[in-house]
Structure 1
Amino acid sequence: MNRVQTQVRRFWLEPVAPDGLAFLRIAVAALSLLQLSILWPHLPELYGNFGLVQWVITDIGAGDWAPGLGRVGRLLAPLGVSTMATMYAVFVLYAVGLVGLLLGYRTRFFAVLTWFTHGLTSANAYLSLYGVDTILHVLFFYLVFMPSAGRWSLDARAGRVFTGPTSGARVALRTLQFHLCFIYLDTGLSKAQGPQWWNGEALWRALMQPQFRAFDFSWLASYPLLAQLACWGTLLIEVGYAGMIWVPRLRRHWLVATLLLHTGIAVCLRLWLFSLTMMVFNLAAFAWTWRASEAPVKVEDGPREEAPDAALQAV
């Protein structure tokens, strides 16, 4: 029992360097800035009070608990601030928060600013949101609490944060890892409940939809078995992820297969931002831990210690 308790404690609390978390912070901020640059010319139509959907409608749909641009606009209206100025002000603050995250300057403050402003904008665009927005909002929330400024940041350069291995970084990585396992397991099991992912129809429909269509896949109708095998492979990767990613000998292969799956989604369905975000999520959660598990840490004047991820291999 003592040995089990020790292994569990090491699994969750063994200090680890914050490299993966720093990579997550930088990559997520960079991808979000790229997304914002793409959306910027279309902000009035997508998020404005007189765009495709007016604020009075989006506020009702978002519910009373979720603050949105409409509520902020009503608060600022008595001050003479127009709805258009309110919208751009929120997005400017969002951009400032992303730059702060990217540089790692006062990281905690800018993480809160980014998460809050992203929530304001998401409440008014829930009709057009898709997976990448949901994942980004979750990752912004994680970055509020995770020690992601310990590497490659102005905070680390100025000595405002601890840069060595910490138990907090280990807990943060475990949180990312288990969240990914739940995402893929839930997604895979949901797909497996319907016949479309068993007979190949799901892949055919996705590839032939005009809004996603990047190449002419009409030839796939002559090879239904190929579409069926591709669907089965997707189910295998997603359902098996939650178990196989923890097996040391299979971890690298399953991670590479998952990255290739998202690469295929990006190329064939043109969902580049979603695919890149999920790839960053995977790399931050597992790439650094597998590197640590393969490289023992040398300690001066003492025996060689096990790698920080040794507990993972022992479980």
Structure 2
Amino acid sequence: MITDYLRELGSAALTGWNRFWFSPSDPATLGFIRICTGAMLFYTHLVWSKDLLGFFGPAGRLPAEYARSLHEFNLFADSGYAWSHLYYLESPQALWICHLLALLILLLFTIGCCTRITSVLAFLITVSYAHRAVGALFGLDQINGFLALYLALGPSGAAFSVDQWWRNRRQGGSVQEQPPQLVMANVSQRLIQVHMCIVYFFAGVGKLMGQTWWAGTALWGAFANLEYQTLDLTWLAWHPIVVNVMTQLILAWEVTYPALIWPRLTRPLMLCLAIPLHLGIAIGMGMTTFGLIMLVGNAAFISPSLLRRLFSPRKQAEDSKQSGKRPAGQGAENRNLSVSSGKRRPQTQRV
């Protein structure tokens, strides 16, 4: 009896594991995240252009040898994890040429051109700048880094991209009746989802170690800090209950995010709460890029079918008309399913 139970338990766990990670899915969500992440990468690297030599030049604020010395305190200092091609650019001309090429690659990645190549290069560029500008970065660059990595692993150019448009042109302008279902699209999207859960879990648990979060006053510390005051919110000092409620709500949301983001009933609520939270950080605390990139990470939980309806309404209307003309039973076979629903599509394509 015990042996049968353990065998059944192991089989069910393995089936669930394979369904979660390796069910093929529509790459629409991945394509949407690629556009948003690529635009953020392009912008965050473009701003270095305002004083490129001042940051990365031989006589700049962060000389190569100084940056390398900072990495010596890192656990992975001797294993190559702090590699950057910018260390080897000594002349201003070479630095500017490589910087402009990097911006071009990031732009091509954003529009989905030669994505299989530009996605990998975009990740390497992101990591190289992060390692070279050590000490001048924060959470935004970490989110940029893991999003770029997972987009490079998956078919991020399979939807909403120049690559997709070019494939359709080579096929005589024909458009696929149903979007491709790719295993690696699901793997990449799941990696982003799991990583976002880890980020929020440790952010919430870390806050539990702070006394002001238990007291409900932590948010006031941010409002009263002049360095973060894009908007003057000090008037909330006259409404301490509001500050307490907002503080406790943020804490509860972050701690419960890894559990409540998965069920279909609570997922919309968690995503809706993420919008005012991160827009508040973006607008009220001067961290616009960080607030926006966190919303991009949350987009991994949006159904591909919803994004198809939002960004390809004409195509969806044509599919609906065609499905209405099919014999009974065929429409159900080709129904567009959400990647997070855990169901398999009958027609699959592996990459």
TM-score (norm 2): 0.77
Given the alignment of the two structures, is residue 23 of structure 1 paired with residue 32 of structure 2, yes or no? yes
Partner residue, 2:313: none
Tell me by how many angstroms 1:179 deviates.
Answer: 1.1
Q: For the residues of structure 2 that align with 1:43 and 1:198, how far apart are their CA atoms?
A: 43
C-alpha contact 1:15 1:308 (8 A) present in aligned 2? no
Q: Does 1:287 align with 2:302?
A: yes
Work out whether residues 261 and 270 of structure 2, in 8 Å CA contact, stay in contact via their aligned partners in 1: yes
Question: Which amino acid is 2:144 matched to?
Answer: L
Could you say which residue in structure 1 is the equivalent of 2:256? Answer: 240
Rate the CA distance shift 1:179–1:230 in 2: closer, same or farther, 3 A.
same
Aligned match for 2:180, one of 159, 164, 171: 164
Distance 1:154 1:199, change over 3 A: same
* Contact 1:55–1:69 (Cα < 8 Å) also in 2: no
The answer for the alignment partner of 2:18 in structure 1 is: 9
Aligned residues: 303
- Report whether the alignment pairs 1:252 with 2:268: yes
Measure, in 2, the Cα distance between the counterparts of 1:38 and 1:208: 28
Offset at 1:272? 0.8
Unaligned runs of 5+ in 2: 1-7, 72-76, 171-175, 310-315, 344-351
Question: For residues 40 and 115 of structure 2, what CA distance do their matches in structure 1 show?
Answer: 17
C-alpha RMSD of matched pairs (Å): 2.9
Residues 42, 202 of structure 1: alpha-carbon distance in 2 compared, 3 angstrom cutoff:
farther
Gaps in structure 1 of 5+ consecutive residues: none
State the match for 1:103 in structure 2: 111
Q: Distance in 2 between matches of 1:21 and 1:309?
A: 11
Deviations 1:112-164 (A, max 9, x none): 2222122222112121101111111111111211111111222222339x961
What CA distance in whole angstroms lies between the structure 2 residues aligned with 1:248 and 1:195?
A: 34
The aligned residue for residue 140 of structure 1 is 148
Note the C-alpha offset of 1:215: 2.2
Which range moves more in the overlay, 300-309 or 252-261? 300-309
Asked if structure 1 preserves the Cα contact closer than 8 Å seen for 2:150 and 2:191, the reply is no
Match status 1:50 vs 2:59: yes
* TM-score of the pair, normalised by structure 1: 0.85
Q: Equivalents in 2 of 1:199, 1:229: separation in Å? A: 11
In 2, Cα distance between equivalents of 1:70 and 1:91: 9
Relative to structure 1, the CA distance from residue 288 to residue 56 in structure 2 (aligned partners, 3 Å threshold; closer, same or farther) is same
Q: Contact between 2:260 and 2:267, CA under 8 Å: does it hold in 1?
A: yes
Assess, with a 3 A threshold, how the Cα gap between structure 1 residues 5 and 141 changes in structure 2: closer, same or farther.
Answer: closer
Identity of aligned residues (%): 27
Match of 1:34 among 9, 27, 43: 43
Is 1:175 the counterpart of 2:184? The answer is no
Query: 2:101 maps to which residue?
Result: 93
**Structure 2 partner of 1:130:** 138
Larger radius of gyration: 2
* 1:278 alignment partner AA: M
What amino acid is aligned across from residue 302 of structure 2 in structure 1? A
Structure number with the bigger relative contact order (C-alpha 8 A, sep ≥ 6) is: 2
Whether the 8 Å contact between 2:84 and 2:129 is mirrored in structure 1 is yes
Verify: 1:220 aligned to 2:233, yes or no.
Answer: no
